[in-house]
Amino acid sequence: MKIAIIGLGYVGLPLAVLMAKKYPTVGFDVKQNRIDELNNGEDFTKEIESTQLKEVLSSYATGNGLLCTSNPDALKDCNYYIVTVPTPVDKNNRPNLNALHKASEVVGKSLKKGDIVIYESTVYPGVTEDECVPVLERVSGLTFNVDFFAGYSPERINPGDKLHTVEKIIKVTSGSTPQAAIKVDNLYKSVITAGTHMAPSIKVAEAAKVIENSQRDINIAFVNELSKIFNLLDINTSDVLEAAGTKWNFLPFKPGLVGGHCIGVDPYYLAQKAQEAGYHPEIILAGRRLNDSMGDYVASQVVKLMIKNGVIVNGAQLLMLGITFKENCPDVRNTKIVDVIKALDEYGIQVTIYDPWATPQEVFAEYGLVTTNTLPATTFDALVLGVAHQEFLELDLNMLQKEKCIVYDVKGVLGKKAHGRL
């Protein structure tokens, strides 16, 4: 067997490295700079250590191992194609399947009789068979479930998490025929030490993934609303959640900004499919609206604290600690810190963004914002902890504060150091 991984980002690269330990594996990505970086043994996502990456790259010529390439011709002798490209939403929060369609075209040009194409990208139920398979058939000239087969196995990668790595997370699998499902399951079972769960159909597997993140989104929206209520009542939300958490079946969710490539996006995929079927998903969309409003809310709370502390808002200097969507991770996709910065800017506040994890070039290309990896050697009128990077938890905040400086804690980790928190 020879495996092809299409897309070498936060999901594809860890899977490619894992597969390469057991099978000859080709990792394909359209970005040549990403391929060059990986072939130099470097991974900007910091998901794979350099020594581990170099090891699988060097072993490819002698058997199992990993070949990283942007040349689609290298895919022609593969038997299993695993697609791990992003599935974002557009500016109107509608699913954007362009990357999925393009990846399917690339695979279709190399598809042969007996091959299996597995999709891992998060989608709404039906995308694999209704959107991707027709592209594979059109480009390859082959017939689905006669000449080639499909599968779906939702990714469960948690960027920055060194404990729950890909092989330690139970993998949901599925196939377009009973025989294909067994082959897909056996492939993953051979590398996933946590085991697998074979779903009865591709649509079931697709639905399972999209509701995982929708469930988290709704629960976080609930505690975000509680935070707004308790702030009006002058009650510490963290204290309330700690007290409630003593009950055995209380769910330990915390308020926060909901961004990233999954939780802040996937509910829109499910909502889109529900609306196509004639149902308006009230709870899912209500949760999304509330979570999407939290950036403006955080900014307004910061401004209120500044006014209360005698800080002149217009022209004030504010240090934003962190811009990635989560702690100890360089991933800036769909980060909601950007919403906070935009709202603060509208108040006339001058925002300096410091994040030792984020790549300044990537942030500027994505959001047009200037960031720094070096702690500014000056003081500020306000500090906002947006991301709980370990570096920030060890930081002496006093050296960054002007006399009337306020400290706002989005993540609820600073304790008494903060004047306000979400």
Domain ranges for the chain, please list them. 3-200, 286-421
Contact 274, 280 (CB under 8 A): yes
Shared fold status for 3-200 and 286-421? yes
CATH topology of domain 3-200: Rossmann fold (3.40.50)
Put simply, whether the predicted model's pTM sits higher than 0.95 gets the answer no
Task: Give pLDDT tens digits for 334-391.
Answer: 999 999 999 999 999 999 999 999 999 999 999 999 999 999 999 999 999 999 999 9
pLDDT tens by residue, 252-310: 999 999 988 788 899 999 999 999 999 999 999 999 999 999 999 999 999 999 999 99
Strand ranges inside 219-326, DSSP E? 317-321
Does residue 146 sit in helix, strand or coil? coil
Residue closest to 22 by CA, chosen among 51, 81, 63: 63
CATH of 286-421, one of 3.40.50.720, 2.30.110.10, 2.60.40.420, 3.40.50.620: 3.40.50.720
Please tell me the predicted confidence (pLDDT) of residue 157.
85
* Residues known to be catalytic: 262
Q: For residues 313 and 346, give the distance between their C-alpha atoms in angstroms, rounded to a whole number.
A: 11
> What is the residue-level pLDDT of the chain in tens, covering all 422 positions?
999 999 999 999 999 999 999 999 999 999 999 999 999 999 998 999 999 999 999 999 888 999 999 999 999 999 999 999 999 999 899 999 999 999 999 999 999 999 999 999 999 999 999 999 999 999 999 999 999 999 999 998 888 888 889 999 999 999 999 999 999 999 999 999 999 999 999 999 999 999 999 999 999 999 999 999 999 999 999 999 999 999 999 999 999 999 887 888 999 999 999 999 999 999 999 999 999 999 999 999 999 999 999 999 999 999 999 999 999 999 999 999 999 999 999 999 999 999 999 999 999 999 999 999 999 999 999 999 999 999 999 999 999 999 999 999 999 899 888 888 88
- pLDDT, position 8: 97
Widest pairwise Cα distance in the chain? 73
Reported in sequence order, the residue ranges of 87-202 that DSSP labels E, i.e. its strands, are 116-119, 149-152, 171-173, 196-198
